[in-house]
A and B are shown apart, each in its own frame.
Chain A
Amino acid sequence: TGWPGLEGQGGAGAGQFCFVSSDLLHLLLIPFTPQILSLSPDFASYTLYLKWNDSGSVFPYDLDASWQIQILRKETMETDTLVTYNSKLTGKDTVLSWNWTSDMPLECTSHYVKIRCYINELLFAGRKEWSEWSPIKTVPGIAVVFPQDKVVLVGSNVTFCCLYNEGESIKFMKYGSKDYPLLHLSKWSSAIKVENVSASIPSGSNVLCSLQPDNIAGAVLFVGYAPDIPENLSCETRTFINITCSWNPGRPTELYRQRQTKYILFESKKHRCDFPVHVNQKIYNFTLSASNPIGQTESSLSIDINQRVHLETPDKFTVSTNSSTNAYLSWYIPGNLIQIRLLCQIEISNSNSGRQLQNVLVTGAENSNYRASVDALTPYTTYTFRVRCSASEHFWRWSKWSVERKLTTLEAPPARGPDIWRERSPVRGTLKIFWKPLLLSEANGKILAHEVSCYLQETMLKAHEVTVPLNSTELKLGGNDCLISVVAKNRAGSSPPSTITSVDIPSDNVKTEQAIPTGNGIYLSWHSDPNVTCGYTVKWCCSTGSEPCNVDWETFPSNTTNVLIKSALFQPGVRYNFSLYGCKHNGYQLLQNIVGYMKELPPKVAPNFTVEETSSDSILVKWEDIPVEDCRGFLKGYMLYFAKGKRGTSKPSYFEEGPPEVTVKNITDLTIKSLRILDLQGKTSYRLDLQAYTTGGMSPLKSLYVVTKENSVGLIIAILIPVAVAVVLAVVTSILCYRKREWIKETFYPDIPNPENSKALQFQKNICEGNTALKTLEMNPCTPNSVEVVEARSIVPKIEDTEIVSQVADSELPEDGSDTETENHVVVSYCPPIIEEEISSPPVDEPVGSSQVIYIDIQSMYQPQVKAEEEPEINLLSTAGYKPQMQLSINAMKMESQSPTEEDLDKTAGYRPQANTNAWKLSSPDSPISIESNNENGSFGSPCSINSRQFLIPPKDDEDSPTPNNTGWSFTNFFHSKPND
């Protein structure tokens, strides 16, 4: 039992094999069940590929092994093949593989494979047996969708069917992402119908067939278009070696790779991609055929090759020069062009002159260089050249442009002399010469210096060179006038000379005019001078900052009478002085001086002005000119505003209160420097504002405050008139008062009866007697303020139902009456608040007549009671000061009791006239009521103040009565009642 892993029957070996034994001779060698690693079908070749591990590592040495592989088919697992495969175990694990080709497509049905092993160990004495079969591996019969990988036209209707195996059922079918209803064709096949298919994505649209249990099948459908007829088929030659054709394929077919369009080009039944040009063949007939799985189209073309020459791009392009105006060009074109002439186009471009084209004809050659020259170029200028060519006789197409080449022409002497001018220098005997730099197009190179020389009758007196960038020099003439000549020099030579004489320029009777500002320049005009034969020169000077100004000038032809001078140095608001010179046969003459602005601005400062003199009604204002540099325009006038206003107010009144207050004077006469303002008020503060203006606008304001002098006459009149009026009024009043003194007395100071002469003092005694005592009450009405009758039945039976109570007291002291013990008195309270001063002088000698009034000092009567009660409200009442003496009728009492609200009012009133006029019985003889007065009613007439001689309350009925008594009453009533109102 030297076998490794040999074990008794039933034991589980660690190795791949187990030995089952009863005794040594009856040992069984049964290899361990092998495992299939993989089983892969190749449906195309009907082949199954099988892999398994031989587990050779469990044996220490080589052994022969046999493998039995069984292949079964169908669901019923009918054995199809049983083959034996022999191998050698080499002591290590080896993956063995085996393949088997079926006689029928693997898709047709399911295939099952299992394997077992047999170890052919010759030394082993026991029985050797096959191992168990491995677990079955299955290759299911393939479910399949038809059609597979088909290409169809957009818009087609396509039916897909799905075939599957027994044991499977279909779940759904999809085209793209959409489910379609299934059409069941048979037990093992279903279909869907897809209508109007749209173009697919490059990898094609998917059809999916999902099966139960867990299997899928699918197909891809490519949807696209048939190729369009090729458009714009065009064939041409570039070199006369080959013919090249091109075309536009038209609409994309949406099909790619194997499915994309294939083009075939035929010429005389031969099909090639490029056609050689045959020496003797001029006409070529081409046919282009396009095809893809969906369709096929064709396009054809017939050409004469000489009319279809499209040359290659000129190559090796070079440019050279040896002069200031010429350039030489050379380029190469490949191809056998012997039989044609070439038309070449040279583009010459330059930053100044733009782009120009020049055509040249050259004879064709084989793979040759071609040359051309260009002339009339500007000296010292950089040009860019490029070239293109075509066949000249039958133009078909230009070649592409060659690359660009740059070239700068050589320098040439300057084309003309510089513009020159001269100015007398402040230093005597010195002349300053100015010249302008030449334009680039005139300089023909880089100007290095200017030579200034002085000639006297063709004899050069002196000469010197001024290097760039100076553009002026000074010449000392030493008293001699000469002809000054300036030439510009560059490397190539000198310009023609420009000359000017040094003779003084006459300047007689020169006027100064104003130029017109235009915003971007200054417009000058002058009258034509017939003597001017060689043009006009306008000279000016531009100052920048503190530096001395730059002399500048411009020359114009003789027929010019107006010019617009522009300069980058012109600034708005700056005055420029121009001198107009005429060039005459005998030299220059100053014709005119012109001042002007490029643009006028408002003056920078306010005019300086002062008040020269003031009077009571006028002010004399004087002002000064604004300095020229502050004017910033031509001064047009001044605006003077004046209005009343005081210093310290933030704004003059004319800004706040509008135009009526302000007076404006527009002074357009610039010669006027002062102005008298008239018609002013005396001793009044005025604010004066002055501003200057130009076309550009108004200057700032300058303000002054002036106070006019006092007007003495007016003052006197102002005092005298009121005094006179007052005196006259006083006199008239006095006279009137004197004449009407009686009436005044009656009205304002009527007689008041003397209480001492009346029987009022007997009132208390006689009150019970009624009628007899009432006579004293028959007098002018007098207002009782409050009347109180304290009931005392036993003693005064006659008036037991005639309780006259002061309204105030009644309301305030309802129990007072009951508490009042024995006094059966009638209380008429009255307290006149106003006429206190009359207490000291009671009128005693007044004629009383028949009228009498009873005065009772009710205050004195009630005071002890009030104190006893200690009612603060009563104190208030007692100080209210009016308690009319009154005897009211019972009716009146009732009415009062029925109106408690009135009583409430009374509490606060402090004073109230007797409201119930029924209570008043006027005994006045001329009162109609008194005639009807009933004694039984106990009328007392109006009570009067003990201090007053008047009745205080009129009867209401009589308020409008025209009787003098009532009139008198109404005055006092008015005064008394007024505070309570």
Chain B
Amino acid sequence: MKEGGHWDKGRQVGGADLSVIDHPPQVEWQGLDRTISLDSVDGVPDATVERWEELTAAERLSANLQAYRVFQALLGEVLEKQRTHLTPLDTDFHASIQSMLLQVTALAYQLEELLALLRHSEPPWEAAGPEDRDHRSFFEMKLRGLKVLQELAHWTVRSVRDLHQVTKHSQGSNTAYGGQAQE
């Protein structure tokens, strides 16, 4: 799936080709090479999934919700690291992350609503892991920031397709929900 660290090579997420997604500008801004391998960074939700077509609507929505919940925390962490350590002067970048964070929060809320609407159970809140530990090297901070932004981009594409799929199934099985399931 991830070959030789070239994360942008025709990668399939939920059946979608993600190579079209722009690389996060952070790549250039912080002197990182865009061919760099980010596999060593963990704790970031991975958008890749096996047998995507076989997922149920509940599984899709739960996976999305869980991912965006994690991203809320991760983006906050990235923003804080950028402000205090990496790019103290680049307020525009901070504002962009802030704006992204707001959108992710809003999306997570929408997904919760949708799950409730479709009468699926909400996934449990996962206990906070070790991700927010303080003693990371600056290099790790950079890699982590890049990984978060990159995976978030992958997730947005997967979400679009997931929600399409959910809508299709809902319309097929229950037209009463179908109309409301659409965002």
Give A residues with C-beta under 8 Å from B.
38, 40-42, 44-45, 47, 49, 51, 94-95, 97, 145, 148-149, 174, 176-177, 201-208, 210, 214-220, 256-258
Contact = CB atoms under 8 A, between A and B. Distances in A.
19 contacts: A49-B130, A94-B124, A95-B127, A145-B139, A148-B139, A149-B138, A174-B33, A203-B86, A206-B30, A206-B32, A208-B36, A214-B4, A218-B137, A218-B139, A218-B142, A220-B137, A220-B138, A220-B139, A257-B88
Contacts of A214: 4-5, 37, 39
Contacts of B133: 42, 44-45
A47 B4 contact: no
Nearest to B43: A40
Interface string B1-28: 0001100000000000000000000000
A256 B89 contact: yes
Contacts of A95: 124, 126-127
Interface string B104-137: 0000000000000000000010110111011101
Contacts of B130: 40-42, 47, 49
Interface in B118-170: 124, 126-127, 129-131, 133-135, 137-139, 142-143
A261 to B, nearest CB: 14
Given A38-B42, A40-B42, A220-B137, 17 more contacts: A40-B130, A42-B133, A45-B133, A95-B124, A177-B33, A202-B90, A203-B86, A203-B142, A204-B31, A206-B31, A208-B33, A210-B37, A216-B40, A216-B143, A218-B139, A219-B137, A220-B142
Contacts of B90: 202
Cβ-closest 4 pairs across A and B: A220-B138, A218-B139, A203-B86, A44-B135
B91 interface: no
A38 B44 CA distance: 11
A148 B32 CA distance: 16
B5 A202 contact: no
B173 interface: no
Contacts of B31: 176-177, 201, 203-206
Interface in B40-55: 40, 42-43
Contacts of B134: 44
Nearest to B143: A218
Nearest to B85: A257
A95 B125 CA distance: 10
Contacts of B137: 148-149, 218-220
Nearest to B134: A44
Contacts of B43: 38, 40
B97 to A, nearest CB: 14
A94 B123 CA distance: 10
A49 B4 contact: no
Contact of B84 (A40, A205, A257): A257
Contacts of A258: 85
Contacts of A174: 33
Binding site secondary structure of chain A: strand
Contacts of B33: 174, 177, 208
Interface residues of B, number: 34
A94 B139 CA distance: 35
Contacts of A145: 139
A214 B5 CA distance: 7
B87 interface: yes
A216 B144 CA distance: 13
A111 to B, nearest CB: 14
Contacts of A44: 133-135
Most chain-B Cβ atoms within 10 A of its Cβ — which of A47, A203, A216, A218?
Answer: A203
A148 B142 CA distance: 13
A41 B129 CA distance: 10
Contact of B129 (A49, A177, A208, A217): A49
A841 to B, nearest CB: 125
Contacts of A177: 31, 33
B129 A40 contact: yes
B124 A219 contact: no
A33 to B, nearest CB: 18
A40 B124 CA distance: 20
Contacts of A257: 84-85, 88
Interface in B61-104: 84-90
B142 A216 contact: no
Nearest to B26: A203
A203 B29 contact: yes
A385 to B, nearest CB: 41
Nearest to B37: A216
A237 B8 CA distance: 61
Given A205-B31, A257-B88, A216 B129 contact: no
A97 B124 CA distance: 14
B129 A38 contact: yes
A203 B30 contact: yes
A205 B33 CA distance: 12
Most chain-B Cβ atoms within 10 A of its Cβ — which of A42, A45, A201, A220?
Answer: A220
A207 B142 CA distance: 12
B134 to A, nearest CB: 8
Nearest to B136: A44
B135 to A, nearest CB: 4
A585 B123 CA distance: 117
Nearest to A219: B139
A141 to B, nearest CB: 12
Contacts of A148: 137-139
A256 B37 contact: no
Contacts of A49: 129-130
Contacts of B36: 208, 216
A717 B142 CA distance: 124
B140 to A, nearest CB: 8
A686 B127 CA distance: 121
A159 to B, nearest CB: 17
B146 to A, nearest CB: 11
Most chain-A Cβ atoms within 10 A of its Cβ — which of B130, B131, B142?
Answer: B130
Contact of B142 (A42, A45, A206, A217): A206
A280 to B, nearest CB: 44
A40 B127 contact: no
Contact of A256 (B88, B126, B129, B142): B88
A665 B39 CA distance: 109
A493 B41 CA distance: 92
B8 to A, nearest CB: 16
B5 A216 contact: yes
B131 A40 contact: yes
A169 to B, nearest CB: 15
A174 B32 CA distance: 11
Contacts of A220: 137-139, 142
B83 to A, nearest CB: 9
A215 B37 contact: yes
Contacts of A203: 29-31, 85-87, 138, 142
A201 B26 CA distance: 13
B40 A215 contact: yes
Contact of B139 (A206, A210, A256): A206
Nearest to A149: B138
A158 to B, nearest CB: 15
A205 B89 CA distance: 16
A47 B39 CA distance: 20
Contacts of B39: 214-215
A312 to B, nearest CB: 32
Contacts of B42: 38, 40
Nearest to B30: A203
Contacts of B37: 210, 214-216
Nearest to A145: B139
B66 to A, nearest CB: 11
B139 A202 contact: no
Contacts of A38: 42-43, 129
Nearest to A96: B127
A174 B129 CA distance: 32
A385 B133 CA distance: 62
A396 to B, nearest CB: 35
Nearest to B138: A220
